[in-house]
């Protein structure tokens, strides 16, 4: 599986180019709590203190027997240190409380319950280079954002992860959702890629595929590409032919796309390989 790498290793002030790489482990953290099972992960999450890092260190399933609660009043990081470490089981990840600040990197999500895989309300949740690819527990939504807070989704892949909307933002006007350099592919499961019904939602340089409409609602951002006519934001591309742009592992197929994947090339490219010339710098996007 190929994962988008964001931000650009060449120039972080550019909108991320079409820049893909194989899975990469986060850097190890001295003193991290290492876990090998779902029970250990659950216990570590419950006991985590502010500033702690939890590392998932084995390939395979971390089965949830209960809802995984990412609770408040602390900033905690969960890192998958090996490719193929995945959260599974008939339960959801629940992120709540205005004082939460959780960051999850490199984790695969196959779990789900009550119509969603991840339910986030209030606080801050950041997902970096995660894979949403449920098998048994596919839900209506992959990520359900409700009741305020911020969700930042960077370089993630949603592989037929939902049946209605992969990223769904509901109701609350104070919520903020930002997607950067993500692939949301509902080409088999159907349903929307992104649905907005409240708050502020922006998508930057994302590839979107569905059997019908990819997006619904007011979605800002720029340089997205979609298989229908609803690609959100400025300078975006509608009605792309997916098979011409990505292979089965989401690696880019176009010649310009491959150039964009070369770290020696500092030019920022959108999903169709077009050089982005209208932004420099893009600090507002990186800080959003």
Helices (H) and strands (E) in the chain, counts: 4, 26
Q: What is the CATH number of the domain that holds 104?
A: 2.160.20
Asked if 17 contacts 274 with a C-beta cutoff of 8 angstroms, the reply is no
The pair of structure tokens assigned to 251 is 């690696």
Give the predicted TM-score (pTM) of the model.
Answer: 0.85
Task: Name 208's bridge partners.
Answer: 184, 226
Asked if 59 contacts 85 with a C-beta cutoff of 8 angstroms, the reply is yes
The pair of structure tokens assigned to 56 is 């998932």
Along the 288 residues of the chain, how does pLDDT read in single tens digits? 555 544 434 333 333 434 455 677 888 999 999 999 999 999 999 999 999 999 999 999 999 999 999 988 899 999 999 999 999 999 989 888 888 899 999 999 998 888 888 988 888 999 988 999 888 888 888 888 877 788 898 888 898 888 888 888 776 667 888 998 888 999 888 889 999 988 899 998 888 999 999 999 999 988 788 999 999 998 888 888 888 777 787 776 654 333 333 333 344 555 555 555 443 322 222 222
Residue 77, domain extent:
2-287
Count the domains in the chain: 1
């Amino acid at each position: 599986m190929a994962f988008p790498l964001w931000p650009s290793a060449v120039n972080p002030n550019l909108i991320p180019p079409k820049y893909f790489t194989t899975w990469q482990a986060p850097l190890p953290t001295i003193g991290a709590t290492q876990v090998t099972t779902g029970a250990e992960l659950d216990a570590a999450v419950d006991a985590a203190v502010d500033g702690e890092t939890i590392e998932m260190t084995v390939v395979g399933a971390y089965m949830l027997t209960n809802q995984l609660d990412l609770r408040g009043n602390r900033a905690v990081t969960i890192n998958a240190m090996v490719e193929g470490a995945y959260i599974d089981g008939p339960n959801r990840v629940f992120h709540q409380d205005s004082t939460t600040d959780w960051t999850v990197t490199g984790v695969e999500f196959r779990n789900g319950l009550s119509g969603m895989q991840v339910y986030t309300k209030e606080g801050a949740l950041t997902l970096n280079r995660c894979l949403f690819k449920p098998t048994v527990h596919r839900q209506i939504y992959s990520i359900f954002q409700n009741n305020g807070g911020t969700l930042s989704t960077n370089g993630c892949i949603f592989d037929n992860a939902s049946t209605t909307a992969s990223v769904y933002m509901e109701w609350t006007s104070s919520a903020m959702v930002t997607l950067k350099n993500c692939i949301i592919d509902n080409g088999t499961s159907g349903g929307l890629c992104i649905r907005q019904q409240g708050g502020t939602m922006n998508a930057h340089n994302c590839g979107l595929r569905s059997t019908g409409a990819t997006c619904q609602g007011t979605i800002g951002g720029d340089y997205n590409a979609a298989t229908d006519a609803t690609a959100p934001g400025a300078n975006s591309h509608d009605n792309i032919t997916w098979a011409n742009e990505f292979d089965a592992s989401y690696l880019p197929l176009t010649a310009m796309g491959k150039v964009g994947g070369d770290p020696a090339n500092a030019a920022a490219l959108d999903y169709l390989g077009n050089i982005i010339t209208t932004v420099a710098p893009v600090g507002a996007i990186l800080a959003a």
